[in-house]
Structure 1
Amino acid sequence: MTSDLTRSASSPAGVELLSKVPEVTVYFWLIKVLGTTVGETAADCLNETLGFGLTGTTLVTTVLLVAVLIAQFRADHYVPALYWSVVVLISVVGTLITDNLTDALGVPLELTTVMFAVALAITFTVWFGREGTLSIHSIITRRREAWYWLAILFTFALGTAAGDLAAEQFSLGYWVSAVICGGIIAAVAIAHYGLRLGAVLSFWIAYVLTRPLGASIGDYLSQSRDDGGLGLGTTGTSAVFLAAILALVSYLTVSRTDRLGPAE
């Protein structure tokens, strides 16, 4: 029987929603990588360049994230500008969670990587146990949306920890780390399209890996040449990538090419 995921469906809590997430297209992955890059550079810009400090940056961005999350949960359908605002801010906050643990509290990157990997695994396990699916095409209830955003937060925190561990602790450097992450993502894509690796598993592996990919690109562009970067600065890099996100989101708002359609 054919069902339309863009039509309303009753949630266990009795709340009826339309699909709250975009279709996974090339635009989705482009904005995701751009957003993860901004998550890295904007956090550094607020923290260091603008002098907010780690605590101040964390407070400001967390308040902004809570505000847009409330608006996102109140919406009854996918709104590109709102959805991607949450992604960008949750990218920044996820970065700051890891930075606070490692820089402020001295927790080793090896430990934070394991911690967030376990937290993400627990989230997926409980989410699947409660809902029977981890597909983003099933985000049609507020409870599922809550699981979705919690998983997204942990993917950003995990990606930050793993990316910093590879680039800094293992001294691979930003460019090499980006190439490695890109290669693994390409392998996942080949496994999905050529070897029938499950769509849900493929999506979440790629989603986690795009975080260190974007962060490595951001660090490579923004950090000084002495630190292995191009020295473009966090402010300029953040501005360019935010402008690119704005342009893509504006296009999607008008074209509606990322709206979910009917599915079996």
Structure 2
Amino acid sequence: MHDFRQNALSKVPEVTLAFWVVKIAATTLGETGGDWVSMSLHLGYAVGSAIFIAIFIAAVVAQMTAKSFQPFLYWSVVVATTTAGTTMADFADRSLGIGYAGGSTILLTLLLASLGAWYWSAGSIAVNTVKSHKVEAFYWVTILFSQTLGTALGDWIAGTDRNGIGLGYEYGALVFGAALALVAIGYYYTTLSRTLLFWAAFILTRPLGATVGDLLDKPLANGGFALSRSHATEILVAFMVACLLMFRQRAAAQAVPIRIDN
């Protein structure tokens, strides 16, 4: 009896340069869109979180019941995690008074717990193993926690309130951009785990997007470009749609065992 492997198609995209470009755009959109609903529309962080969590649940159900990879559906779920992550982190950090450092610590713990439970249950946290509803559920919960952590982390590094480090949006974006560059160097020039590097990059794109989003829509006096949140959100949506139309994304390949008897 021999154990061969062939490629099957996943419902998550192949990780390419286009994937990371769209991912950064989605995280930036999550910041501007989440702030638009909670702050510009004056709905508040709690109501905004409830709205985006409901959207996230509906989108995840649609994604998990889909029979094949659908780029627009997949990225709709990612955007739902980024907008929900923005409002949930702001609710914890600001409304509950936990602060950026406290919120980041709690969310990092939840993220690590999610990854640990996923690994304990499935034996791997590699994205090319996302082929069952159980693993897909772990995948999306982990992404939701990573996006929420990224918001809190970005605010902690850039902000001056709530004991933030106060680097500002421009320097905050540079810090996270440099960290992503180090991950890329690790990918191309070291033998570090590709799974570890993927999740490091995935997590770091969120605070990068958060600081870039704040840079776009915060007042000039606060170091931003003073774009309205609605206009910034519309521009980012258009950019994402253009990227998805121009750079056709393929489903990631999965290695699945096939047993053949002699």
Q: TM-score, normalised by structure 2?
A: 0.91
Deviations 1:146-194 (A, max 9, x none): 0000110110111111111110111100010100101011111101110
Q: Does 1:246 align with 2:237?
A: no
The answer for the alignment partner of 1:142 in structure 2 is 133
The answer for the alignment partner of 2:211 in structure 1 is 216
Which SS does the other structure have where 1:260 is aligned? strand
Whole-angstrom distance in 2 between the partners of 1:262 and 1:103: 42
Deviations 1:36-71 (A, max 9, x none): 001111111112222322233222222222211111
The answer for the alignment partner of 2:228 in structure 1 is 233
Q: Does 1:31 align with 2:34?
A: no
Which SS does the other structure have where 1:5 is aligned? strand
Which SS does the other structure have where 2:213 is aligned? helix
Note the residue ranges of structure 1 that are not aligned, 5 or more in a row: 7-18
Q: How far does residue 94 in structure 1 lie from its aligned partner after superposition?
A: 1.0
The answer for the alignment partner of 1:68 in structure 2 is 59
Q: TM-score, normalised by structure 1?
A: 0.90
**Larger CA deviation: 141-150 vs 102-111:** 102-111
Whole-angstrom distance in 1 between the partners of 2:52 and 2:149: 18
Whole-angstrom distance in 1 between the partners of 2:67 and 2:48: 30
Whole-angstrom distance in 2 between the partners of 1:61 and 1:52: 12
Which SS does the other structure have where 2:124 is aligned? coil
Whole-angstrom distance in 1 between the partners of 2:215 and 2:206: 14
Q: How far does residue 248 in structure 1 lie from its aligned partner after superposition?
A: 1.7
Pairing partner for 1:177 from 169, 172, 179 = 172
Matching of residues 146-165 of structure 1 within 5 Å: 146-165=137-156
Q: Is the Cα–Cα contact under 8 Å of residues 169 and 211 in structure 2 kept in the other structure?
A: yes
Whole-angstrom distance in 2 between the partners of 1:243 and 1:183: 27
Q: How far does residue 249 in structure 1 lie from its aligned partner after superposition?
A: 2.1
Q: Is the Cα–Cα contact under 8 Å of residues 128 and 253 in structure 2 kept in the other structure?
A: no
The answer for the alignment partner of 1:22 in structure 2 is 13
Q: Is the Cα–Cα contact under 8 Å of residues 224 and 233 in structure 1 kept in the other structure?
A: no
Moved over 4 A (4+): none
The answer for the alignment partner of 1:198 in structure 2 is 193
The answer for the alignment partner of 1:259 in structure 2 is 251
Whole-angstrom distance in 1 between the partners of 2:103 and 2:39: 22
Q: Percent identity of the aligned residues?
A: 33
The answer for the alignment partner of 1:109 in structure 2 is 100
Q: How far does residue 100 in structure 1 lie from its aligned partner after superposition?
A: 0.8
Amino acid at match of 1:214: G
The answer for the alignment partner of 2:158 in structure 1 is 167
Pairing partner for 2:84 from 73, 80, 93 = 93
Cα RMSD between the aligned structures? Answer: 1.4
Q: How far does residue 262 in structure 1 lie from its aligned partner after superposition?
A: 6.4
Whole-angstrom distance in 2 between the partners of 1:145 and 1:131: 11
Whole-angstrom distance in 2 between the partners of 1:140 and 1:76: 11
Higher share in strand: 2
The answer for the alignment partner of 2:260 in structure 1 is none
Amino acid at match of 1:78: F
Whole-angstrom distance in 1 between the partners of 2:207 and 2:22: 15
Q: Is the Cα–Cα contact under 8 Å of residues 120 and 155 in structure 1 kept in the other structure?
A: yes
